[in-house]
Amino acid sequence: MPMDESVRKAVLGAVPSLRAFAISLCGNVDRADDLVQETLLRALANIDSFQPGTNMSAWLFTILRNHFRSEYRKRRREVEDSDGHYAESLKSQPDQIGQVEFREFREALAQLPSDQREALVLVGASGFSYEEAAHICDCAVGTIKSRVNRARTRLAELMGVDSADEFGPDQQTRAVLASGGE
């Protein structure tokens, strides 16, 4: 059946962000694109359950996230150390996802527990409110806030940047400034 043009536009419009979210979840572009494709197929098969006027993007994110988690659980049985495995799969294809300069950040992100990672990405990058993120992740708003906080703290620890002084470039700049005087 032909779909409504506005639906088609809204779905396509959400694809770039869905891909970015999917990549942050599974750490692999090919797998992420498959995940997005499966999400679109599911969404369109169930388009009747979408309430017009509500946020199409959030609806699609919810489907993608649920689909990923059910797949992830399946894979978990096969691969015991799933988070470690995820981190490893990132290392083996460092240039596939974006630029090399994000590598350190990506690796740190990959080491976060998945519930913290998804909360951080939804709120910090996808632009969802805490309420929307809570809806997508099917949990309380306070839980999302807590996960985001823990994710930030852990990221900072992993990257060794407990204070701003420890960021690489800044550290050097600051050192120069400090030694060179005002």
Which range touches another protein (CB under 8 A), out of 29-37, 50-58, 84-92, 172-180?
29-37
Structure letter (DSSP) for residue 3 = P
Does 91 bind another protein (CB under 8 A)? Our answer is: no
With binding defined as CB under 8 A, does residue 120 bind another protein?
Answer: yes
Please, what sign has the CA dihedral across residues 23, 24, 25, 27? Answer: positive
Residue 175 binds another protein (CB under 8 A): no
Among residues 102, 129, 171, 173, the one that binds another protein under rule CB under 8 A: 102
Q: Does 75 bind another protein (CB under 8 A)?
A: no
Q: Rule CB under 8 A: say whether 79 interacts with another protein.
A: no
- Judged by CB under 8 A, the chain residues 42 through 71 that form the site for another protein are 44
- Residue 68, judged by CB atoms within 10 A of its CB (0-12, 13-18, 19+), counts as buried
Choice from 109, 110, 133, 137 touching another protein (CB under 8 A): 109
Q: Does 167 bind another protein (CB under 8 A)?
A: yes
The answer to whether the CB of 86 falls within 8 A of the CB of 26 is yes
Using CB under 8 A, pick the residue from 42, 85, 145, 174 that binds another protein: 145
Asked if residue 98 binds another protein (CB under 8 A), the reply is yes
Distance CA 68, CA 172 (A): 41
Coil, helix or strand for 110?
helix
- How far apart are alpha carbons 57 and 75 in whole angstroms? 26
* Cα angle 93, 96, 101; round to 5: 95
Q: Distance between CA 25 and CA 93 in Å, rounded?
A: 15
- Write out the residues near another protein by the rule CB under 8 A: 1-3, 8, 11-12, 15-17, 19-21, 23-24, 33, 36-37, 40-41, 44, 97-99, 102, 105-106, 109, 120-121, 124-126, 140-143, 145-146, 149-150, 152-153, 155-156, 159, 161-164, 167
